[in-house]
């Protein structure tokens, strides 16, 4: 069963042993708002707020972004600035890429040493 954002947030917060009021303070939101989020009374927060929550709970931001069905702002910015990246993602959607396809593509890109990385000195 897929968790709602609120259920996942509450689970992660409780596992991190951080109280609702403390998390609200850390992310500069009201405890009432955070309670509404955890009880799924309001939609998931913005991407920026989700990143603050992930940092405050010391959890992987991807976990919260996925359950919220939101995109990492770094990725959105990258795709918005690179037409070829956007075109590639459209093609992947049209061809209905699945997780196996993405795994294969990742392995191919790594084997071909695609991309640019700075060399460590």
Range of the domain at 16: 5-71
pLDDT in tens, 43-75: 999 999 999 999 999 999 999 999 999 999 999
Q: Stretch 9-18: mean pLDDT, rounded?
A: 96
Does residue 98 share a domain with residue 47?
no
Does residue 42 share a domain with residue 91?
no
How far apart are the C-alpha atoms of 85 and 88, rounded to whole Å? 5
pLDDT at residue number 121: 46
Q: Is the pLDDT of residue 1 over 60?
A: no
Does residue 96 share a domain with residue 41?
no
70 φ, ψ to 5°?
-125, 160
pLDDT in tens, 89-112: 999 999 999 999 999 999 999 999
pLDDT at residue number 2: 59
Record the pTM: 0.80
């Amino acid at each position: 069963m897929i968790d709602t954002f609120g259920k996942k947030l509450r689970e992660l917060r409780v596992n991190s042993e951080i109280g609702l009021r403390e998390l609200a303070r850390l992310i500069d939101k009201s405890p009432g708002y955070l309670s509404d989020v955890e009880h799924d009374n309001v939609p998931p927060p913005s991407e920026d707020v989700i990143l603050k929550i992930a940092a405050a709970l010391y959890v992987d931001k991807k976990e919260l972004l996925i359950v919220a069905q939101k995109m990492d702002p770094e990725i959105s910015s990258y795709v918005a600035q690179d037409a070829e990246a956007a075109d590639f993602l459209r093609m992947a959607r049209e061809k209905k890429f699945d997780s196996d396809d993405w795994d294969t593509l990742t392995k191919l890109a790594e084997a071909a040493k695609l991309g640019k990385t700075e060399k460590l000195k």
